[in-house]
Amino acid sequence: MSTRLHRLFGRLLPIPLAASLLLSVPAVSAADGVSAVSGSGSSAVSGSGSTAVSTAVRNPAQETAADYALFLKDKFGIEFGNTLKKGDFIAATAAALRLQTGEDAEASANAEAAATADAAATADAVVFADVPASSPYYAAAAALYREGILSGGTVNPEARLTAINAAQIAVKASGLKELAYTYSADKADRTLAPFNLSAALLGLQGAQELAAAIDTGLVPAEQLHLIRERGPATAEYAAALLGKTLESRSEYKRYIGWVSDDNILNELLNAYQASGIVKAPELQAIGDRALEDNLVTGYTIRDSRYESNFIDKLTITYAHADIRHALQLVALLRSEGIDAKVQYEPRTSAFVYLQEWGDPGESEYYEVRQIANGNYIEYAKEYELIFEFRTPADRDRFDGIILEYAKKNEADQQGLIYGSWWQPLYYSNVRPKGDYKEIANNKLSDGRYYLESFSLVEQADEVAAAYKTDDPGITFSTYTFWTNAAFYRYLSGESK
C-alpha cells in the first residue's frame, strides 16, 4: 500500500486527556434511532438467591437476540427455526465453535454410505446409545464429546430442545464447567429457588450447570422466564445463548464500546496509550525487501487479535495516525446522531523516509532503520477505527460526514476536525452507497500477524510478485474491497 507521508513534516502527538479535547458531547437520542427497551418485568436473579423485578431501562447498546442471530447467520450460516431439536443446537454449537475437524465433516457428509464401524473409527470411536455414525448429528455430537461438552451415552438429538438443557450445554461450551462444578447443592438451590427448581429435581450436576449459566449471565435476563416455565427453547433464546457462548470465548465481536457510551473517549484514549508499534519480523523482512527494491511504496502490519469480527454489511474501517483526530471523529459521529460499535486496532505503517528530508529521529510513535542507499525505512504507530453501524443507512451517511468535516480540500481550511487529511482512508468489504471504488488488498499472514498493501486492482499481480516467499509458514492472498474516492485517487497518483 502507498502509505501517506503526512508525518514527514511534523510529528503528531497524543493529548493527555480526552477531557481537554471535549468538555461535553450531546447524547444520541431515541429519536435518532437508539430506542430504550424496558425490563418488562423480568426477574434479575443474584447468586445469593434474591429476586428483584427489573425496572431499569435497558442499555440501548446491549446486544439483542436479533444481533446474535444476525452474527450467527452472517459468520456461520446458522439460522434457528421455530421448532428446535436438541440435535440442531448441538450441530450449531459445534459449527460456531469450529470444533468439527475435516475428518468430522467428511464423516458426516459420507455417513449415509459409510459403514457404522468405519465412520466411528474416523471420529475417534465415540459411541452414543442413540446417535449412530450414520446420523447427521453424529460428527457434531462427537466433536462436543471430545471437548467435554457432551457426555457419552444417550443424547436424544430428536427431542425438543428445552431452555434448561440449552443452558446446560452452553455453560460447558463457554468453558465454565469447572466453575459450575464448584457449586454445592445449597448454592445451586439458592440461585434456582426463584424458578422453583432445585438439585433434587435436576440432579446435582444439572443444577450446577443451570445455576452457573444463570449467575454468569449466559441466559439473558429477558429470557429467564423460559427457565421458570420449563419450556422449549425459542429461536431467539438459542441465538442469544450461543452468541453469549461465543462472547465468553472471545469469538464474538471485539470492541471497546459504542459511540453513544459516556466514557467512549476515555476508552479510546486508553486503547491508544496502551498500544505500541506492531512488529512481525518475518513479515517485515519481506515487506522491507520490496520497499528497498522500489517494488512497493509502503505496507502496514496488524495483529489479528484485534480484529473486530463485525458484520461486513454494517462495517466501515477508518485509518489514521493521530489520536486527537480519532477522538473528534467519534464525537462528530455522536453529534450527527449516529451510533456504532467502535473497535480500536493498532497498526504499524512502513514506508521509505528519504535521506534528504533530514534526521528522522525516533520516539515511541515511530522507529527508523537506515538501509544500504542511505535512506530509511520508518515504522510508524497508526491505528484503524472499525465502526459497526446500527443500520446500512447509518453506514451510508459516513462518507458524506467525512467529506464535509474531515476531508481537507485547501490549505488552512476551517470547519474540519483536527488532523484532517487531504486523502482520508476508509473502506468496506461490502460496497456502501456513495463514491466508493474497488481496489485490492495484498496480504501476507503468519497466522497471528499480517502484512497488507493496498493497490489498484490492475497492480495486484505486481505486488504479489514483490511479496513472493518460500516460507511455508507464511501465506499470501489477494482480494478486492471498496475504498473512498479520495484514497483511490491517491493510489492512482493524484495529490488530492
Q: At what angle do helices 323-335 and 392-405 cross, to 10 degrees?
A: 120
Euclidean distance between CA atoms 53 and 37, whole angstroms: 15
Q: What percent of the chain has pLDDT over 90?
A: 78
Domain that holds residue 452: 6-24+260-491
- Tell me what pLDDT residue 347 has: 97
- Tell me what pLDDT residue 124 has: 53
Region 324-337 average pLDDT: 98
- Tell me what pLDDT residue 496 has: 75
Among 7-21, 170-184, 291-305, 338-352, the range scoring the smallest mean pLDDT is 7-21
φ, ψ for residue 58 (rounded to 5)?
A: -70, 140
- Tell me what pLDDT residue 488 has: 96
Quickly state the pLDDT bin for 216 (edges 50, 70, 90): very high
Query: For residue 496, is it within any domain?
Result: no
Quickly state the pLDDT bin for 125 (edges 50, 70, 90): low
Region 396-403 average pLDDT: 97
- SS3 assignment, position 283: helix
Same domain, 372 and 421: yes
Angle (nearest 5°) at CA 72 between 67 and 73: 100
Same domain, 283 and 359: yes
- Tell me what pLDDT residue 16 has: 33
Same domain, 50 and 197: yes
Query: For residue 1, is it within any domain?
Result: no
Query: For residue 31, is it within any domain?
Result: no
Interval 144-165: pLDDT, tens = 999 999 988 899 999 999 999 9
Same domain, 80 and 121: yes
Angle (nearest 5°) at CA 92 between 248 and 254: 30
Query: For residue 255, is it within any domain?
Result: no
Same domain, 461 and 353: yes
End-of-domain residue from the set 214, 248, 282: 248
- Mean pLDDT, the chain, integer: 85
Q: What percent of the chain has pLDDT over 70?
A: 83
Query: For residue 324, is it within any domain?
Result: yes
Query: For residue 32, is it within any domain?
Result: no
Same domain, 313 and 355: yes
- Tell me what pLDDT residue 62 has: 79
CB–CB of 57/38 below 8 Å?
yes
End-of-domain residue from the set 248, 275, 304: 248
Name residue, grid cell 497518483.
493
List all residues 6 or more positions away from 4 whose beta carbon is below 8 Å from its beta carbon.
Answer: 421, 423, 425, 490
Whether pLDDT at 55 is above 80:
no
Same domain, 237 and 360: no
Q: How many helices (H) and strands (E) does the chain have?
A: 18, 14
Interval 423-478: pLDDT, tens = 999 999 999 999 999 999 999 999 999 999 999 999 999 999 999 999 999 999 99
Query: For residue 111, is it within any domain?
Result: yes
- Tell me what pLDDT residue 31 has: 31
Whether pLDDT at 325 is above 80:
yes
- The total of structural domains in the chain comes to 2
Query: For residue 254, is it within any domain?
Result: no
- The answer, as to whether pTM is greater than 0.85, is no
Same domain, 76 and 169: yes
Same domain, 390 and 487: yes
Give the CB-side neighbour count of residue 24, counting CA atoms within 13 A. Answer: 2
Same domain, 274 and 422: yes
End-of-domain residue from the set 226, 248, 270: 248
List all residues 6 or more positions away from 21 whose beta carbon is below 8 Å from its beta carbon.
Answer: 15, 265, 324, 327, 328, 331
Same domain, 139 and 227: yes
Of 263, 266, 246, give the one whose Cα is nearest residue 254.
246
Same domain, 273 and 330: yes
Whether pLDDT at 404 is above 90:
yes
Quickly state the pLDDT bin for 105 (edges 50, 70, 90): very low
